[in-house]
């Protein structure tokens, strides 16, 4: 009977520990969050890239227009025979050329900025990708562990049920009463005549009856002293 009681207690302690493990894992899984700062940063970069792209289009449209203008002016230049007008047309052409040069310069600097940004975007994208993979892995890990622990708990509880059914009702009642009043363990060792939990010395005559309890804390001795 003591053997069964010892086994029951160890299964019930295991039940408590498994529950604790499950709760801890559930808490950890709840705290598992995907880091969104990189995604936010990526959105910002993409917006900047978009606005640069708009600028670039505007600039190339502008330089296209300037080139058309230059063509017209140069045509006039070729057609014109009036020397006075030739000079003013020449000046105009030079001004337009200068504008075209500036516009192309701007286009180049925009393209350079875009290139840098695109590199950053690619870096962020791959970093987000690996973070997402990692997050999923961790999530799967928690889910698998939780499942395994739940199965373990169920098996353990089934075992507890079987043992309880095999035990005498009055012994179970005594054990459960102790459990409700004291914390586990309630089946304890007797070490050289002393209770291993409360430390009280026990009268020397004990040790042969079934279910010997501590004179102080009422815990049941596990029988290991009787060999
Ligand atoms: Zn005791």
Kindly list the protein residues that place their beta carbon closer than 5 angstroms to ligand 1, a single-atom ion. Answer: 195, 198, 214, 216-217
Domain ranges of the chain: 31-148, 169-221
- Give the tens place of pLDDT for each residue, 207-218: 556 788 999 999
CA of 14 to the centre of ligand 1 (A): 22
Tokens of 181: 């009043």
pTM of the model: 0.70
How many A from CA of 218 to the centre of ligand 1? Answer: 6
What is the rounded end-to-end Cα distance, in angstroms, of the chain? 15
Residue corresponding to tokens 């708009």 = 54
For residues 133 and 157, give the distance between their C-alpha atoms in angstroms, rounded to a whole number.
Answer: 36
Q: Express each pLDDT in 132-163 by its tens digit.
A: 999 999 999 999 999 999 999 999 999 999 99
Residue 189 CA to ligand 1 center (angstroms) comes to: 9
The number of residues making up the chain comes to 227
The answer to whether 2 and 211 have CB atoms below 8 angstroms apart is: yes
For the chain, strand residue ranges (E) read 187-188, 190-191, 194-195, 220-221
Using the predicted structure, report yes or no on whether residue 96 has a pLDDT greater than 90.
yes
| Contacts with 157 (C-beta within 8 Å, 6 or more apart), sequence order | 15
Distance 186 CA to ligand 1 centre (A): 9
162 vs 227, more confident: 162
- If you measure from the C-alpha of residue 13 to the centroid of ligand 1, how many angstroms do you get, rounded to a whole number? 19
Better-predicted residue by pLDDT, 146 or 91:
146
pLDDT of residue 200: 95
- Give Cα 196 to chain centroid, integer Å: 43
Rounded Cα distance, 149 and 143, in Å: 10
> Ligand 1 center to residue 8 CA distance, Å?
20
Q: Of residues 123 and 210, which shows the higher confidence score?
A: 123
Q: How far apart are CA 74 and CA 92, in angstroms?
A: 9
Percent of the chain with pLDDT over 70: 96
């Amino acid at each position: 009977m003591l053997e069964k009681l010892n086994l029951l207690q160890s299964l019930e302690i295991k039940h408590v520990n498994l529950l604790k493990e499950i709760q801890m894992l559930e808490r950890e899984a709840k705290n598992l969050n995907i880091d969104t700062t990189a995604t936010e940063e990526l959105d910002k970069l993409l917006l900047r890239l978009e606005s640069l792209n708009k600028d670039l289009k505007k600039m190339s449209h502008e330089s296209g227009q300037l080139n058309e203008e230059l063509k017209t002016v140069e045509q006039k230049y070729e057609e014109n025979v009036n020397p006075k007008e030739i000079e003013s047309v020449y000046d105009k052409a030079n001004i337009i050329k200068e504008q075209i040069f500036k516009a192309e310069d701007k286009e180049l600097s925009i393209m350079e900025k875009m290139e840098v940004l695109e590199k950053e975007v690619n870096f962020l994208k791959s970093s987000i990708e690996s973070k997402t993979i990692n997050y999923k892995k961790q999530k799967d890990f928690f889910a698998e562990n939780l499942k395994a622990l739940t199965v373990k708990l169920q098996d353990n509880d089934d075992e507890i049920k079987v043992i309880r059914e095999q035990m005498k009702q009055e012994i179970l009642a005594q054990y459960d009463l102790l459990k409700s009043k004291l914390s586990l363990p309630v089946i304890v060792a007797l070490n050289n005549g002393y209770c291993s939990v409360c430390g009280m010395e026990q009268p020397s005559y004990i040790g042969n009856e079934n279910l010997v309890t501590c004179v102080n804390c009422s815990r049941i001795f596990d029988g290991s002293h009787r060999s």
